[in-house]
Structure 1
Amino acid sequence: MIIDNASHYKEQVIALLISEKLPVADLPESLENFLVAIQDKEIVGVAGVQVYGDYGLFRSLAVYPEHRGSGIAGKLVTRIEALSGYTNDIDPSSPI
């Protein structure tokens, strides 16, 4: 499996999101902060983050049903976190 920037796969990303009943009307023109998972030359998953200043909104994680259970979503999340500069510096023992 290959994880790649989604910019060149907009039509396939839209098709996957629609098939999973996720919104597409507000997708950014450029999918520069979106990634796709490619297996056997087919898009099988997508994840994205929308950037708002210093913050990002995680959105649109989808994997086709026939490819679920193989860790694709987890790999996409890990790569999106890296793309976003996410670090988990929160002490889990700290009160909320």
Structure 2
Amino acid sequence: NIWQAIVDFFSKMGSQIDSWLKEVVNFDFRIMELYETFIVPLPEIYKILGAILLLVILILGVISFIKKALKLFIVLAVIAIIAYVFITFV
């Protein structure tokens, strides 16, 4: 079956690219190396303060994203209402 051959080809390519990237990039090892180099030697209070700072930044970013999404929704709703009124009455 031709479709099965196509699916097999792309799944083999995906696994080959994945294994090649694991060897070349070695992402997990690099992240752990950075963690062990920079984070582990810090005192615990700095780790706690850093975690709190990251949490605050994350929360503020989520709030900002929600505000922008709400503004976009309002703009799209106004455009949809104008288009509906224009189509209905003109």
Q: TM-score when scaled to structure 2?
A: 0.19
Q: Greater strand percent: which structure?
A: 1
Could you say which structure has the greater relative contact order, defined with CA pairs below 8 angstroms and 6 or more residues apart? 1
Structure with the greater alpha carbon radius of gyration: 2
The normalised TM-score by structure 1 is 0.18
